[in-house]
Amino acid sequence: MRRQPVVQVDAFAERAFVGNPAAVCVLDGETGAELMQQIAMEMNLSETAFLRHRDDGSWDLRWFTPTVEVDLCGHATLASAHVLWHEHGLSDPELVFATRSGVLRARQQGDAIELNFPAVRGRLEEPPAGLLEALGAPARTVIRNRMDWLVELESAEVVRQLAPDMQQLSTLPARGVIVTAQSDDTDYDFISRFFGPGSGVPEDPVTGSAHCALAPFWADRLGRTSLRAFQASARGGAMNVVLEGDRVRLLGKAVTVMRGELVF
C-alpha cells in the first residue's frame, strides 16, 4: 500500500477560498503518467502538480487536469513553490523547475511569490468556425497562440457577463479560450476569463499561463510593460504581470487550505 502526501493550495489568493485551487504532490519515487492522471482525476481540480527532486537541486514539475497533462500552468507552479517553502521548509532563495515548457523559476518577494515564465505570443487569425457562436459575443481581435485562442471582447462588462456554450467550445482545436478586455476598474489594466472544457476545465478561476499571452497582448496596446490584471471568474483573482523581452514575471500570493494523504 502506498501513501502519498498531498497539499491543496489556493493560488493567486490572499485568503482561503478565492483564487485558483491546486493540489501538490511531492513524490518520493518514480511515478508514471498514468498514475499521475488518476490522482489528478481523483483530486478533480483544474490542475494537480507533481514534483520530484533532481540530483542538480532543481525539481521536475508536471501538471495534470482531471483529463490531460498540460504544457504550462501558472497557478499550480505558484502552489508548488508555496508548498516547498512553507510546507517542506526549503530555504532556497530561488526554486528551479524543469518542465515541458523549459526551465521555470520562482522567487520569494516578501509575502508573495514571483514566477518567471516564457512569454506566449500569437498571430492574428480569423476566428475558427463556431468560436464566436460559442462565446455569444462579437470580437474585436482574435489571436491564435501555441496553446489557446485569445479573444478581445468589446468591454469588461461583456467579459464578466459571458456565458459561453461549453459543449461547442470543447470542440475547438486548442487547450482553451482566453477572453479579455481593458478594465473598467482603475485598480486593474485589463480583465480576463479562461475556458478550457476540451481540457477538462470548463472555467479556470485564475490562469497564470494565460497571462503569459495576455502580458504581451496588453503591453503592445497600452504601451506599458508592467500591468495589473484581474481574472473575473466566480472566485476571482489578481496578479501583477511584467513583460521583459521573451519572459513574463507573474507576482501573486498563495495559502494552504488542506493537508492530507492519498492511500492506494
CB 232 within 8 Å of CB 160? yes
* Residue 238: all three cell numbers together: 489578481
Choose the catalytic residue: 34, 47, 87, 125.
47
Strands 190-196 and 226-231 come out as: parallel
Q: Which residue carries 499561463 as its cell?
A: 209
Q: Which segments of the chain are extended strands (E)?
A: 3-11, 20-26, 47-53, 59-64, 69-70, 94-99, 102-109, 112-118, 123-124, 139-144, 148-153, 176-182, 190-196, 201-204, 226-231, 237-244, 247-252, 254-263
CB atoms within 10 A of CB 58: 15
- Residue 199 CA to chain centroid, in angstroms? 13
* Residue 173: all three cell numbers together: 482545436
Count the residues in the chain: 264
| Catalytic annotation present for 47 | yes
**Residues recognised as catalytic:** 47
